[in-house]
Structure 1
Amino acid sequence: MPPFRTKARAVDLLGKGQIADLPTAITELWKNGFDAYADNLTAEIYLKGYRDLPEPIFVMTDDGKGMSNKDIFDKWLVLGTDSKSRTNGVDEEGVETLFKKPRIKAGEKGIGRLSVAFLGSPMLMLTKKLGYNLQAMYFDWRLLENYNLFLDDIQIPVIEIEDLDELRERFEDLKNEFLLNFKKVKDIDGNPIWEKTQISLKDRIIKSTTKVQLPEFFETEILSNIIDLVDDHGTKFVIFEPEEQILNLIGTADNNDNEFVRTSLAGFTNQFKEKKDRLPISTSFPIHRETGNDSDFLNQAGNFFVPEDYDLADIVIEGNFDGDGGFKGKLKIYNETISYNFTNSRKKDIRSNYGAFPIKLGYSQGNFNESKLERGLYDKINRKVEKYGALYLYRDGFRVLPYGRPEYDFLEFEKRRALRAGTWFFGHRRMFGFIELARKANENLKDKSSREGLINNAPYRAFKNDLEAFFMDLAKEYFGSEAKKSLFLNKKNELKDQSEALKKDKKRETEAKKAFSKSLSDYPVRFKKYQEEYKRLLSELQSKLYKSKVIYQELEELLESIQQLDLEFKNLIPQVSKAYQPTDLQLDRLYKYESEVIEFNDTIKRESEELLIKVQKELQIKELKIEFVKQYNRYHAELETVLYQNKQNLDDKFRAITREFENKTSSILDDLKFSKEDLESSILSKDDVINNTISIKRKFEQLSEQVSAEITPLVEHIKKLSFDIDEELVQGAYRAEYENIKYQWEQTRDAAQLGIAVEIIDHEFNVLYSQINSVIEKLDSEIPQKITVLFNNLKKSFKSLEDKYGLLSPLYRISGINAKLITCKSIFEYLKDFFERKIREDDITFSASKSFLNHSLEIKEPVIHTVFINLVNNAIYWLRSVDEKEVSFDYKKDTGEILIMNSGLKIEEHRLNKIFELFYSNRPGGRGIGLFLSKQSLADNYFEIYATNDPNYNRLNGACFVLKPIT
Structure 2
Amino acid sequence: MAKFKTSARTLDLLGRQQIAGIPTAINELFKNAHDAYADFAEIDYLRSQKLFILRDNGLGMTEEDFETRWLTLGTESKVSSSAITLPPIDENKPLREITGEKGIGRLAIASIGSQVLVLSRAKSYNSLNNTVVALINWRIFELPGLSLDEIIIPLRNIQGGTLPDMTLINNMKNELVDTLKKIAKNKQALESIITSILDEILSFNINPSEIENSLPNPSLSLLKNGHGTHFYISPVNEMLDNDIDGDSNNTDATKIEKMLVGFTNTMTPCHPKPQIELAFRDYKTDNKTYKDIINKDYFFTPEDFYTADHHIEGMFDEYGQFKGKVTIYKEKEFQDHIINWNGNNFRKTTCGPFNIDFAYVQGKSSQTIIGQEDYNRIIAKCDKYGGIYIYKDNIRILPYGDSDYDFIDIEKNRTKSASFYFFSYRRMFGAINISKQYNSELKEKAGREGFIENKAYRQMREILKNFFIQLAADFFRDNGGPKSIFWRERRSEQEKIYKALEKREKQAKAKKEIFIKKLNKFFEDLSSGAISLKIQEILNNVAIELGGVIYVRDAEKASQKILDIEFSTREKIETYKQTIKLVQPRGFFLNKRVAEDYNSYLIEFEKLETNLFSKALEDLEELLNYYTSRLHIEISKRKRLELAVNQVSSDATKIASKKGKEANTAASEVKQRVKELANQLMIGLEDKIRTIKDEFKQLQINNSDDFNLVKERQRMENEILAEKEKATNALDSVLKQLDSFYWEQDDLGNIVTSEDITQALQEKVFDLEEKMINDVELSQLGQAVGIIHHEFSSTVNSIRDSIKDLKAWADVNEKLEGLYTNIRTNFEHLDGYLNMFTPLSRRLQRTKEEIPANDIRLYIADLFYPRFERHNIKLKHTKGFSKRSLYGFRSTFYPVFVNIIDNAIHWVKQINKNEEKFIKLHADDTGVYIANNGPIISIADYERIFTYGFSRKPKGRGMGLFISQEALKESGYKLYVVSPLEGCNVTFKIEKIENYDTQE
TM over 0.5: yes
* Alpha-carbon distance in 1 for matches of 2:615, 2:139: 89
Deviations 1:568-605 (A, max 9, x none): 93864635036456634345556457566555544458
Aligned pairs for 1:279-428 (under 5 A) are 280-286=275-281, 297-298=292-293, 300=295, 302-307=297-302, 309-321=304-316, 326-333=321-328, 334-338=330-334, 339-343=336-340, 354-365=351-362, 370-372=367-369, 385=382, 388-405=385-402, 407-411=404-408, 413-414=410-411, 421=418, 424-428=421-425
Does 2:739 correspond to 1:716?
yes
Amino acid at match of 1:139: I
Instruction: Name the counterpart of 2:137.
Output: 140
Deviations 1:317-359 (A, max 9, x none): 1123358764332201113210433346879799996544221
Amino acid at match of 1:83: S
Aligned pairs for 1:677-826 (under 5 A) are 688=711, 706-707=729-730, 710-718=733-741, 725-727=751-753, 728-732=755-759, 734-735=761-762, 747=774
Amino acid at match of 1:77: L
Residues 651 and 479 of structure 1: CA distance in aligned 2, closer, same or farther (over 3 Å) = same
| Segment drifting more, 259-268 vs 214-223 | 214-223
Q: Which of 174, 179, 192 lines up with 2:188 in the alignment?
A: 192
| Segment drifting more, 636-645 vs 280-289 | 636-645
Instruction: Name the counterpart of 1:59.
Output: 53
Instruction: Name the counterpart of 2:104.
Output: 111
Residues 687 and 216 of structure 1: CA distance in aligned 2, closer, same or farther (over 3 Å) = same
Amino acid at match of 1:513: K
Residues 808 and 233 of structure 1: CA distance in aligned 2, closer, same or farther (over 3 Å) = farther
**How many Å apart are 1:362 and its aligned residue?**
1.3
**How many Å apart are 1:182 and its aligned residue?**
1.5
**How many Å apart are 1:11 and its aligned residue?**
1.3
Does 2:78 correspond to 1:84?
yes
SS in 2 for 1:711: helix
* Alpha-carbon distance in 2 for matches of 1:707, 1:679: 29
Aligned pairs for 1:472-511 (under 5 A) are 472-480=469-477, 483-484=480-481, 485-495=484-494, 497-498=496-497, 507-511=506-510
Amino acid at match of 1:61: R
Does 2:68 correspond to 1:74?
yes
Q: Which of 677, 692, 699 lines up with 1:660 in the alignment?
A: 677
SS in 1 for 2:31: helix
Residues 329 and 666 of structure 1: CA distance in aligned 2, closer, same or farther (over 3 Å) = farther
**How many Å apart are 1:393 and its aligned residue?**
1.8
Deviations 1:597-631 (A, max 9, x none): 55554445886899999999899xxxxx99x9999
**How many Å apart are 1:360 and its aligned residue?**
0.8
**How many Å apart are 1:651 and its aligned residue?**
2.4
SS in 2 for 1:182: helix
* Alpha-carbon distance in 2 for matches of 1:686, 1:229: 88
Say if 2:542 and 2:565, in contact at 8 Å, map to a contact too: no
Does 2:433 correspond to 1:436?
yes
Residues 274 and 711 of structure 1: CA distance in aligned 2, closer, same or farther (over 3 Å) = closer
Instruction: Name the counterpart of 2:39.
Output: 40
Say if 1:286 and 1:294, in contact at 8 Å, map to a contact too: no
SS in 2 for 1:24: helix
Say if 2:361 and 2:368, in contact at 8 Å, map to a contact too: yes
Instruction: Name the counterpart of 2:861.
Output: none
Aligned pairs for 1:141-290 (under 5 A) are 141-162=138-159, 167-168=164-165, 170-185=168-183, 192=188, 194-196=190-192, 198-208=193-203, 211-216=205-210, 234-244=228-238, 259-272=254-267, 277=272, 280-286=275-281
Residues 677 and 609 of structure 1: CA distance in aligned 2, closer, same or farther (over 3 Å) = farther
| Segment drifting more, 697-706 vs 571-580 | 697-706
**How many Å apart are 1:316 and its aligned residue?**
0.9
Identity of aligned residues (%): 26
Instruction: Name the counterpart of 2:812.
Output: none
Instruction: Name the counterpart of 2:584.
Output: 577
Amino acid at match of 1:428: Y
Say if 2:118 and 2:229, in contact at 8 Å, map to a contact too: yes
Deviations 1:845-891 (A, max 9, x none): xxxxxxxxxxxxxxxxxxxxxxxxxxxxxxxxxxxxxxxxxxxxxxx
Residues 653 and 285 of structure 1: CA distance in aligned 2, closer, same or farther (over 3 Å) = same
* Alpha-carbon distance in 2 for matches of 1:62, 1:702: 65
SS in 2 for 1:18: coil
* Alpha-carbon distance in 2 for matches of 1:73, 1:629: 109
Deviations 1:334-392 (A, max 9, x none): 13210433346879799996544221101234666755556786677567556543321
* Alpha-carbon distance in 1 for matches of 2:137, 2:303: 46
**How many Å apart are 1:287 and its aligned residue?**
6.1
Does 2:544 correspond to 1:547?
no
Residues 446 and 419 of structure 1: CA distance in aligned 2, closer, same or farther (over 3 Å) = same
Say if 1:679 and 1:692, in contact at 8 Å, map to a contact too: no
RMSD: 6.0
Instruction: Name the counterpart of 1:120.
Output: 113
* Alpha-carbon distance in 1 for matches of 2:478, 2:532: 55
* Alpha-carbon distance in 1 for matches of 2:16, 2:838: 45
Say if 2:9 and 2:144, in contact at 8 Å, map to a contact too: yes
TM-score (norm 2): 0.61
**How many Å apart are 1:133 and its aligned residue?**
3.9
Say if 1:393 and 1:404, in contact at 8 Å, map to a contact too: yes
* Alpha-carbon distance in 2 for matches of 1:13, 1:615: 118
Say if 1:127 and 1:236, in contact at 8 Å, map to a contact too: yes
Residues 218 and 664 of structure 1: CA distance in aligned 2, closer, same or farther (over 3 Å) = same
Aligned pairs for 1:528-567 (under 5 A) are 543=548, 546-548=551-553, 566=571
* Alpha-carbon distance in 2 for matches of 1:744, 1:286: 34
Instruction: Name the counterpart of 1:30.
Output: 30
* Alpha-carbon distance in 2 for matches of 1:57, 1:755: 37
Amino acid at match of 2:355: P
Aligned pairs for 1:911-950 (under 5 A) are none
Instruction: Name the counterpart of 2:900.
Output: none
| Segment drifting more, 353-362 vs 716-725 | 716-725
TM-score (norm 1): 0.63
Deviations 1:787-846 (A, max 9, x none): xxxxxxxxxxxxxxxxxxx9999999xxxxxxxxxxxxxxxxxxxxxxxxxxxxxxxxxx
Q: Name stretches of at least 5 consecutive residues in structure 2 with no aligned partner.
A: 637-641, 702-706, 805-833, 841-1000
Residues 544 and 419 of structure 1: CA distance in aligned 2, closer, same or farther (over 3 Å) = farther
Say if 1:158 and 1:174, in contact at 8 Å, map to a contact too: yes
Instruction: Name the counterpart of 1:3.
Output: 3
SS in 2 for 1:436: strand
**How many Å apart are 1:194 and its aligned residue?**
1.8
Instruction: Name the counterpart of 2:935.
Output: none
Residues 543 and 213 of structure 1: CA distance in aligned 2, closer, same or farther (over 3 Å) = closer
Say if 1:391 and 1:428, in contact at 8 Å, map to a contact too: yes
Does 2:668 correspond to 1:651?
yes
Instruction: Name the counterpart of 1:822.
Output: none
* Alpha-carbon distance in 2 for matches of 1:179, 1:658: 96
Say if 2:559 and 2:635, in contact at 8 Å, map to a contact too: no
Residues 143 and 808 of structure 1: CA distance in aligned 2, closer, same or farther (over 3 Å) = farther
* Alpha-carbon distance in 2 for matches of 1:148, 1:315: 60
* Alpha-carbon distance in 1 for matches of 2:218, 2:541: 94
